[in-house]
Structure 1
Amino acid sequence: MNLLERLQGGIFGVATGDALGVPVEFSSRSYLTQNPVKDMMGYMCWNQPPGTWSDDSSLTLCLTESLSNGYDLEDIGKTFVKWYQEGYWGAHHKVFDIGGTTRHTLDRIVKGESAYFSGNIFEEDNGNGSLMRTLPLVYFLKNVDNIEDRYKIIKDISAITHGHFRSIFACFVYVEFGLLLLNGTEKFQAYKEVKAIINSFSKTHEFNTEEVDLFKRVLQNDIIEYRNEEINAGGYVLHSIEASLWCFLTTETYEACVLKAVNLGEDTDTTAAIAGGLAGLHYGFDAIPETWKFQLARYEDIYNLIDRFHESII
Structure 2
Amino acid sequence: MIGDQLGAGVEGRSSGRIKHDHGVVRDDIEAPHMGIPELGPRIHMYTDDTNSMLALASSLVLNSGLKPIHAARSYAIFWSTGIKRGYPDSAQESMRCVLEGKTNYQECGRIAFPDGSFANGGAMRIAPVALAFRHASDDQLYEAVRMAIISSHVHPEGIDGAFVLAKAIIFALHCQSVNDFNPLEFLTVLQSTARTEGMQKQIQKLILFYNEQNGLHNASSKKHRADVDVVRALGNTFQIKAIEAVPCALWIICVSYREPEECLIRGVNMGGDTDTVAAMIGDIIGALHGREWIPTRWYDHIEPNSEGNMGRGRDYAIDLAKKLAAMDLNSVLDDNE
TM-score by length of 2: 0.77
Residue matched to 2:222 = none
2:138 equivalent to 1:147: yes
Instruction: Report the residue type matching 2:58 in the other structure.
Output: E
Residue matched to 2:230 = 230
Which gives a bigger RCO, structure 1 or 2 (Cα 8 Å, sep 6+)?
A: 1
Selected match of 1:27 from 13, 17, 21: 13
Name the CA distance, whole Å, in 2 between partners of 1:65 and 1:119. Answer: 21
Selected match of 1:134 from 120, 126, 138: 126
Gaps of 5+ in 1: 1-14, 87-92
SS at match of 2:104: coil
Residue matched to 1:256 = 262
Distance 1:51 1:119, change over 3 A: same
1:48: how far off?
Answer: 4.4
Residues 215-224 or 15-24, more deviating: 215-224
1:85: how far off?
Answer: 1.4
1:300: how far off?
Answer: 2.0
SS at match of 1:287: coil
1:313: how far off?
Answer: 4.5
Residue matched to 2:252 = 247
Residue matched to 2:321 = 306
1:248: how far off?
Answer: 1.4
Selected match of 1:64 from 36, 39, 57: 57
Residue matched to 1:290 = 296
Name the CA distance, whole Å, in 1 between partners of 2:41 and 2:105. Answer: 31
Whether contact under 8 Å (1:262, 1:268) holds in the other structure is yes
Whether contact under 8 Å (1:132, 1:274) holds in the other structure is yes
Count of residues paired in the alignment: 285
Name the CA distance, whole Å, in 1 between partners of 2:80 and 2:248. Answer: 31
Alignment of 1:1-314 (within 5 A): 15-34=1-20, 35=22, 36-45=24-33, 47-68=40-61, 69=63, 70-86=65-81, 93-112=82-101, 113-120=103-110, 122=114, 125-144=117-136, 146-184=137-175, 188-189=181-182, 191-193=184-186, 195-196=188-189, 198-199=191-192, 211-219=196-204, 221-222=206-207, 224=210, 225=213, 227-228=226-227, 229-231=229-231, 232-251=237-256, 252-298=258-304, 299-313=314-328
Whether contact under 8 Å (1:50, 1:295) holds in the other structure is no
Whether contact under 8 Å (1:73, 1:157) holds in the other structure is yes
Name the CA distance, whole Å, in 2 between partners of 1:308 and 1:196. Answer: 28
1:283: how far off?
Answer: 1.3
Distance 1:311 1:24, change over 3 A: same
Whether contact under 8 Å (2:132, 2:327) holds in the other structure is no
After superposition, the CA RMSD in angstroms is 2.4
Instruction: Report the residue type matching 1:72 in the other structure.
Output: K
1:233: how far off?
Answer: 4.3
Percent identity (aligned): 19
1:169: how far off?
Answer: 1.0
1:99: how far off?
Answer: 2.2
SS at match of 2:105: coil
TM-score by length of 1: 0.82
1:175: how far off?
Answer: 1.2
